[in-house]
Amino acid sequence: MLAAGSVTAVQAQRPATLDVTTARIMQRLGALAADSMEGRRAGTPGSVRARAYLVAELTAMGAKPIGSSFVVPVTLRARAGSDTAGANIVARIPGKHSSGPVLVLSAHYDHLGVRNGEVFNGADDDASGCVALLTIAERLLREPPEHDVILAFFDAEESGMVGSKAFVNAPPVPLDRIAMNINLDMVARQDGKALWVSGTSHSPGLKPIADAAAKTSSVPIRFGHDTKDLKPGDDWTGSSDHAAFHNKGIPFLYLGVEDHVDYHKPGDDADRVDPAFYRGTVEFAYALVRSADATLASVARAKP
């Protein structure tokens, strides 16, 4: 566990030391995890603002929706203080071979909202995954992947993974074309000093893909949290949106950090993120997407 004093030191030296790419990542993280987003709870005005932010970023970089709009409506369960109109944000980065297998890269943009007057900003959970997706998308647009990459920013993960379940139940391409899912949920906090890759126990064929990406990683990469022998809560197979894909027989790799002191607390703020660590996890995720894209045809053939 990093001492509070260390975090302060990181913050104090930040403005002078950030390179352009890291500064952009941190600026986006600050925007999506700002108080004005009111914790992005599904079905609230703050969620609609977060949605508008993501659509504006995707539009500005030249990404395209799959149908007529990035916004794909999702019906939420009725809850106090929220609307039932949710939405996933879905975009497609065209690959050089657009008829074959597809990779779905996902993160969830909703969080817990406002409770007792306190905004739960969810910088790590999961603004961090969304900003990683935006960063990766920009690079894929500049240097197209071999295969189509679908970006899915899910709504309502925090209220029963409603967005990802809706996605796999009404997928934008036939499910059998989705070769795998890479899901990012909580990739910014350095407290555990490592990024976990989960899912290879279910799909051992994906391990070499992650190993290849790990070779160049500046942050330690660990494998696990995906077996039934672990104590309750430590098997992450069902703990985020990759579960929806797993339940449809689609292999997944999930990237995330261990729970930390600010997990599901109002202190999950952007200024508690170590920019160097977070930049490192974004770079690993990007390398992983490239590695998966390069071998996606064989991943698709190995699918059950």
| Site for Zn ion, residues 167 to 206, rule: CB under 5 A | 185
Q: Based on the shown chain and the rule CB under 5 A, indicate whether residue 110 belongs to the binding site for Zn ion.
A: no
Looking at the Cβ atoms of 125 and 262, the one nearer to Zn ion is: 125
Least distance to Zn ion, CB of residue 95, Å: 28
Least distance to Zn ion, CB of residue 296, Å: 26
The DSSP secondary structure of the chain, one letter per residue, reads ---HHHHHHHHHHHHHH--HHHHHHHHHHHHHTSGGGGGG-TTSHHHHHHHHHHHHHHHHHT-B-SSS-SEEEEEPPPBTTB-SEEEEEEEEE--SBTTS-EEEEEEE----EEETTEEE--IIIIIHHHHHHHHHHHHHHHS--SB-EEEEEES-STTTSHHHHHHHHS-SS-GGGEEEEEEE-S----TTSSEEEE-TTT-GGGHHHHHHHHTT-SS-EEE-S--TTSPTTS-GGGSSTHHHHHTTT--EEEEEPPP-TTTTSTT--GGGS-HHHHHHHHHHHHHHHHHHHHTHHHHHHH--
Least distance to Zn ion, CB of residue 202, Å: 20
Q: Which stretch binds Zn ion (CB under 5 A): 63-71, 117-125, 166-174, 188-196?
A: 117-125
Q: Based on the shown chain and the rule CB under 5 A, indicate whether residue 155 belongs to the binding site for Zn ion.
A: no
Looking at the Cβ atoms of 38 and 185, the one nearer to Zn ion is: 185
Q: Based on the shown chain and the rule CB under 5 A, indicate whether residue 262 belongs to the binding site for Zn ion.
A: no
Q: Based on the shown chain and the rule CB under 5 A, indicate whether residue 126 belongs to the binding site for Zn ion.
A: yes
Least distance to Zn ion, CB of residue 129, Å: 7
Q: Based on the shown chain and the rule CB under 5 A, indicate whether residue 241 belongs to the binding site for Zn ion.
A: no
Q: x/- binding map, residues 26-55, to Zn ion, per CB under 5 A?
A: ------------------------------
Looking at the Cβ atoms of 146 and 185, the one nearer to Zn ion is: 185
Q: Based on the shown chain and the rule CB under 5 A, indicate whether residue 125 belongs to the binding site for Zn ion.
A: yes
List interacting residues with Zn ion (CB under 5 A): 125-126, 185
